């Protein structure tokens, strides 16, 4: 798969999440897929869908800012804009690291970024 093909797969996964197209995402992930986040340590594909695949009704859009692909690995940084009455302005920015094996995504590691409300930084608890 080419760099452009990997970047396109990433774009399509984000679009499928917003469309609640679980079938597409299941097919894009390898059988031995692993997912890591600040809340998840290398969970497998069934656990990912059980824990992490949620209704995306609360998301207005993902703004994919950067996709860097090198060989079988890629980074994507995006800004997520939450739905609301248009007044809360809730957003956050994350970076995800993708590892491909052939045409499938074998691993995703997500790094949570800052949250904003009305353009102001929101300090997270902890």
Q: Which domains does the chain have, with CATH numbers?
A: 3-118 (3.10.450.50)
Cα–Cα distance measured from residue 29 to residue 46, given in angstroms and rounded to the nearest whole number: 11
Q: Map tokens 């600040």 to a residue.
A: 38
Name the DSSP letter for residue 88.
S
**Cα distance between residue 91 and residue 93, in whole Å:** 7
SS3 assignment, position 83: coil
pLDDT digits (tens, 9 = 90+) for 59-115: 889 999 999 999 999 999 999 988 875 556 688 899 999 999 999 999 999 999 888
The predicted structure's pLDDT at residue 3: 80
- Phi/psi of residue 55, nearest 5 degrees: -60, 135
What average pLDDT does range 29-38 have in this prediction?
96
């Amino acid at each position: 798969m080419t760099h452009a093909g990997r970047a396109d797969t990433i774009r399509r996964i984000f679009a499928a999440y917003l469309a609640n197209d679980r079938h597409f995402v299941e097919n894009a992930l390898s059988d031995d897929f692993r997912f890591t986040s600040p809340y998840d340590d290398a969970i497998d594909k069934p656990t990912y869908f059980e824990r992490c695949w949620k209704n995306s009704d609360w998301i207005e859009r993902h703004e994919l800012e950067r996709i860097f692909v090198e060989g079988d690995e890629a980074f994507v940084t995006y800004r997520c804009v939450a739905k609301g009455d248009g007044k809360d302005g809730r957003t956050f920015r994350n970076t995800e690291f993708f590892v491909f094996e052939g045409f499938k995504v074998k691993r995703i590691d997500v790094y949570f970024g800052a949250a904003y409300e009305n353009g102001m930084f929101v300090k997270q608890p902890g």
